Amino acid sequence: GEVELWEFCLQPGDAYVSEADPDGWSEQVYVVEGHLTIRFSDPAATQQIGAGEFFMFPSNQPHRYCNDADVPLRFVRNVAL
């Protein structure tokens, strides 16, 4: 398999847009500090993840990592096949 590991820091109001990965890929995120909002094409699928929390999802869909809070956000993103 293939694995990518990234550390992200987003300032308040910042966002990172991620393209869809190939079918079969997944992403796991762990929030170190702050609050992460992950937005998908379907607004009902929006996820809010706080410090110390983990979330995993199939990444074969466009998604966006957002810092909607007023404090810096730091999280680890793992992409795996």
With a CB cutoff of 8 Å and minimum separation 6, the contacts of 73 are: 8, 9, 10, 11, 14, 31, 33, 34, 35, 36, 67
| Confidence (pLDDT) at 2 | 84
Structural domains of the chain, ranges and CATH numbers in brackets: 3-80 (2.60.120.10)
Q: 76 - beta bridge partners? A: 7, 30
| Confidence (pLDDT) at 1 | 78
* DSSP label of 20: P
pLDDT at 49 over 90: yes
Q: With beta carbons less than 8 A apart as the criterion, state whether 5 and 70 touch.
A: no
The type of residue at 80 is A
Q: Rounded mean pLDDT of the chain?
A: 96
